[in-house]
Amino acid sequence: MLNLNATIDPNSGFCFGVVYAIEMAEEWLNAEGKLYCLGDIVHNDEEVARLQKKGLVTINHDQLKELHNERVLIRAHGESPDTYKIALENNLELIDASCPVVLKLQNRVKESYDKNDAPVFIYGKHGHAEVKGLKGQTNEEAVVFMDIAELDNVELPEKVNLFSQTTKDTKNYYQVKKDLEARGVEVKFNDTICRQVSNRDVELRNFSKLYDQIVFVSGTQSSNGKVLYSICKQENPNTHFVSSASEVNSEWFTAGQTVGIAGATSTPLWQMEQVKSKIETI
């Protein structure tokens, strides 16, 4: 054995929005034994599989259109107005676990769109569930971009209302504002980054410096996971990404090293504990 000393970051794991959604799902599953969920409840395959064993059935938007007289969970990412319209038409009972931070952002985007004083631009990941819900507040008219370079060949308006997906990197978002202004655009800037997520930046940087190696645990589809992993990697080059304990590689370590274990806001504590156990038995 290598006698590795592993420590889980106390600030890692589910954000309150994900905790709320999973608690609601488990409450209904314990009572009813079955519940539909529109999209993966969290971007973590192992947590999704755990809840599926309890009776959670994941469906997509096409399947929702064919569903009638059932109960459906809306996950923390939120949904567009079309989803609520379909639910009404199909007599679906919605268990709405939309994150309060996301709901507030949706309202701000809709108010901005309804005011119609400038086009809505959204800094976020194309196709992401939260971004789809935000774009839906604008009758699908908002301009979504992941990188400022996407706007290089776009004729920009004189003024924009700028919003961000809640889990984007704060520093990059402020840089987007500066870049747009440098192009002569008047930016009505809305700081819509979730502070529970953005505060993880400083916390993770400090945590990553304390250990010889860092193992970052996250689902491969988690946008937040990609951001936080890159932060760890910046501070500690000996950072490794895993989506399950089975991916931990003994060749990463040498005897007696200290190992920090961190995770995304979509990473359950039980999964980080599994990784810790695996590391301590190498």
Query: What average pLDDT does this structure show over 198-212?
Result: 93
Share of the chain above pLDDT 70, in %: 100
Q: N- to C-terminal Cα distance for the chain?
A: 5
All domains of the chain, ordered by start, with CATH? 5-13+196-280 (3.40.1010.20), 16-98 (3.40.50.11270), 101-194 (3.40.1010.20)
pLDDT of residue 170: 87
Share of the chain above pLDDT 90, in %: 91
230 Cβ contact partners less than 8 Å away, ≥ 6 residues apart: none
State how far the alpha carbon of 132 is from the alpha carbons of 36, 70, 175, 268, in Å: 20, 23, 23, 25
Amino acid at 135: K
**Which pair of structure tokens corresponds to residue 200?**
């993880």
Task: Write out pLDDT tens, residues 233-253.
Answer: 999 999 999 999 999 999 999
Torsion over CA: 139, 141, 142, 144 (sign): positive
Residue reference for tokens 């370590």: 253
Flag whether pLDDT at 116 surpasses 90: yes
Query: What average pLDDT does this structure show over 31-46?
Result: 95
Q: Is 271 exposed, middle or buried (0-12, 13-18, 19+ CB in 10 A)?
A: buried
Task: Write out pLDDT tens, residues 124-163.
Answer: 999 999 999 999 999 999 999 999 999 998 899 999 999 9
Flag whether pLDDT at 199 surpasses 90: no
Amino acid at 166: T
- Mean pLDDT of all residues belonging to the chain: 95
Strand partners, 242: 217
User: Which residue from 249, 243, 281, 246 is spatially nearest to 264, judged by alpha carbons?
Assistant: 243
pLDDT of residue 201: 86
Q: Predicted confidence band at 222 (pLDDT cuts at 50, 70, 90)?
A: confident
pLDDT of residue 197: 80
Flag whether pLDDT at 167 surpasses 90: no
User: Is the Cβ–Cβ distance between 263 and 247 less than 8 Å?
Assistant: no
Active site residues: 130
> What is the pTM for the complete model shown?
0.88
162 Cβ contact partners less than 8 Å away, ≥ 6 residues apart: 121, 123, 176, 177, 180, 187, 188, 189, 190
